[in-house]
Amino acid sequence: MREYDFDGLVGPTHNYGGLAVGNVASARHEGQLSNPRAAALQGLDKMRFVRELGVAQAVLPPHPRPHLPTLHALGFRGSDEEMMAAAAGAEAPLLRVCSSASAMWAANAATVAPSSDTADGRLHLVPANLDAMFHRAIEAPVTHAVLSTIFADPARFTVHRPLPGARHFGDEGAANHARLAVPDAPAVHLFGWGRRSWEGGEAASDGSGRHAPRQAREASEAVARLLQLDPARCVFARQHPRGIEGGAFHTDVLAVANEGVLLVHELAFDDVAAVEAELRARLGLALRVELAREAELPLADAVDAYPFNSQLLTLPSGEMAVVAPTDARHNPAARRFLERVVGSGGPVRAVHWLDVRESMRNGGGPACLRLRVPLEEAEVAALGARVVLDEALEAELRAWVTRHYRDRLLPADLADPVLAREALRAIDELSAILQLGSVFAFQR
């Protein structure tokens, strides 16, 4: 089995809309000038770097934006241009909502369990419903369609429907999930959650702070059932309320795991010592935990620089490396923590710094941009689209981005019907490059 990082390609309408409540970086950069072309090329640069490290790399397409079916469903009528103009003039930011390129953060696309871990021996994927944010919730049906096209072989894959809607089962995907595995022991799945939907028979509130928790424990439990995981190999850990209030809206903002290594901030979970004890009871002494205390790495620095929202990778040599954003390099506390991990004598032997600032300014680091999918060789051969990145596909994608993407975009530009036509034309061409067929509604 080999892990493939499925990275989300940044979409042509990448902009700083400030839509993600609770995301500090998203709010800080609202309304600023973005560069969709640079963002997409930065994403491809990261994919190439990871592939050159020897880690398998694949891609997921951006979603069609503006999402005209949503405008139809909200009662807008007339031509595409008339609907967009009316939505742009509405009091609510409806056009920004329907034009967000947030599907680029593929860690929110789904939760995955490899065939080695599931009861029926198939790889399972549960697309996230993302019900906490409207601009992300409209991604779920498209994500399901895309994943169902890529993982189409029913003998090897099961792509479930997203959990039923409403915040009672709000699910944020792999951003709140980690798989840990050590030799000679079954893998353990760690699910982070922020709130319970039912307490004392009543629906619980979403929290009283500025930044409401997104993931429901009930959703995590339902996802684990759908993935056909052994309940004895699942750990459900509550996110620390202070962490959420400080901007750690997903577990992967304060924790990252790979095989038998967990890098974690003390405010990632309500009781991080108890979480470590549960994991160690299942995985034994082979588990290695690198804990960052608040005194070493203040929460504000962890949220600002995203040292945990890095990719922790196993290289062909068996050693591990961290692929971190340059923001973490420029933050003294974040840099010192990652350098301590590298110098601790454990399996993590290097840290590499990559510029993904266009994503970081919108609140997502290197780990947000990828969905981890462990695949057997026969499962790779059964994939139903051209998504595994090689030199030829990378060259085509770079040429495609250069051909179709603008190098400057303000949220106000989303009302331009020319941009909408450019974006949909680009996605139509991309679906042919990736051999996805007519997977999107506007193509049918």
pLDDT in tens, 336-345: 999 999 999 9
pLDDT at res. 308: 97
Q: Is the pLDDT of residue 27 over 90?
A: no
| Sequence letter at residue 344 | S
In terms of residues, how long is the chain? 444
Could you list the active site residues? 172, 250, 368
Cα–Cα distance, 79 to 58 (Å, whole number): 36
State the average pLDDT for the chain: 92
Q: Average pLDDT, stretch 263-269?
A: 98
Query: Per residue in 36-58, pLDDT tens?
Result: 999 999 999 999 999 999 999 99
Confidence of residue 29 (pLDDT cuts 50, 70, 90): low
pLDDT at res. 212: 80
Query: Per residue in 287-304, pLDDT tens?
Result: 999 999 999 999 999 999
Which is it for strands 202-203 and 234-238: parallel, antiparallel or unpaired? Answer: unpaired
pLDDT at res. 328: 96
Taking alpha carbons only, the member of 348, 425, 434 closest to residue 386 is 434
Report the share of the chain in percent with pLDDT over 90: 86
Continuous segment of H or E residues that includes residue 262: strand 261-265
Cα–Cα distance, 138 to 144 (Å, whole number): 11
Say which range, 100-104, 114-118, 178-182, 377-381, has the weakest mean pLDDT.
100-104
